[in-house]
Chains A and B, each alone.
Chain A
Amino acid sequence: MVDKAIELFDCGHRACGGCGAALAARLVMKGAGKNTIVVSATGCMEVFSTPYPETAWKVPWIHSLFENASAVASGIEASLKMQGREEKVVIMAGDGATFDIGMICISGAFERGHDFTYICYDNEAYMNTGIQRSGATPYDASTTTSPSGSCSFGNKLPKKDMPQILAAHGAPYVATASIAYPADLMQKIEKAVRTKGPCYVQVHAPCCTGWGFEGEQTIAIAKLAIETGLWVNYEMVDGKVSKVKKVVRKPVEEYLKTQKRFRHLFKPTRQDAEIAHIQSIADKNAEKYGIDIKLKKE
């Protein structure tokens, strides 16, 4: 067991107040422990934590580029192996670095089976460059490159299923987690880091600035994502779903209404068809992962 009281991500970083990714960084490091080398991809987390010389990282940390973190980690792992060293390698990358531009390096690294843990903190867009859409942006979210408008409801594409893609590479451990459930998140990280081979944990990390809500709501919104079935927390061991967080589901509207990126679905007029479509995404998730808790009627 790692000592979760140790803070390995320091104060003084420049994340927005209430940033989900900053909380993710803290919690991930608590789960990973201090015998860890972190590889960051370019993005909000890298930028808010390491303007020279003010690093927030208390563990060895390296950043090279936006799209090569898993290749850099491959080299580090190979080097550690050759030196007979025991440190664990943990990648911290945003959804853009993971779902989009880093895919070739990620696929290669997972195929090769390096012993590392890849953590995607998923804030569902390219936040560092000003909230552009990524392959992780949910359906109908308005971003600066998928804006809602008189003939658009925002992002037209569904969220890519990265966990399944990496499970299909043979990753021994794949999990989704959320900053709203810190204990579960830390436990999953610890498990991933302990598991030999390339593991993947995708952490839902709401971004107040990019999604349009007050920083104090970060956890409440992350919880709503799970309670509506739009985000599912689960584990996959050797490609099989083994543990799923079950909920008494709420209508997706309750989640959508909290964020400016979905405001066009309610104002100036309510877009019933679009909301129904998003509800169908949640329903499919619920069915696929069996998240519904059935309440007994009295």
Chain B
Amino acid sequence: MALAIGCRAKPGKSRDNKTGSWRVFKPIFNHEKCSQCGLCQTICPEGCIHEEEEGFLNPDYTYCKGCGLCSEECPSEAIEMKQEEK
């Protein structure tokens, strides 16, 4: 790949870096407890939590670093951190 003049890049390239491999703990989302408030989606520093069809939220494990912030802040205690199995 030729270098881009001025050390420049187009958007989208950070996605090549799959930060999910950093994870030690994995957030498990319990949709039965979830009130669909969307707080986790707002506060995830990775922006990797997405709304699925029925309004439930799920993280994209390709990028989730397992920081635990969503689990800590979830008002319904619907997200549990579990040791990652590798």
**Chain A residues within 8 Å of B, Cβ to Cβ:** 7, 9-15, 17-20, 22-23, 26-27, 49-50, 52-58, 179, 182, 214-220
Contact = CB atoms under 8 A, between A and B. Distances in A.
Interface of B: 4, 7, 9-19, 22, 42-48, 60, 62-63, 65-69, 71-73, 81
A56 B14 contact: yes
Q: Is the interface of A mostly helix, strand, loop or mixed?
A: loop
Contacts, number: 97
Contacts of B47: 7, 9-11, 26
A218 B72 CA distance: 10
Nearest to A53: B9
Contacts of B63: 11-12
A23 B46 CA distance: 7
B65 A49 contact: no
Q: Which residue among B14, B45, B66, B71 has the maximum number of chain A CB atoms within 10 Å of its CB?
A: B45
A14 B7 contact: no
Q: Max chain B CB contacts within 10 Å: which of A19, A53, A218, A219?
A: A53
Contact of A11 (B14, B43, B67, B68): B14
A148 B58 CA distance: 43
A115 B76 CA distance: 43
Contacts of A52: 7, 9
A52 B9 CA distance: 7
A218 B69 CA distance: 7
Given A26-B45, A54-B9, A12 B69 contact: no
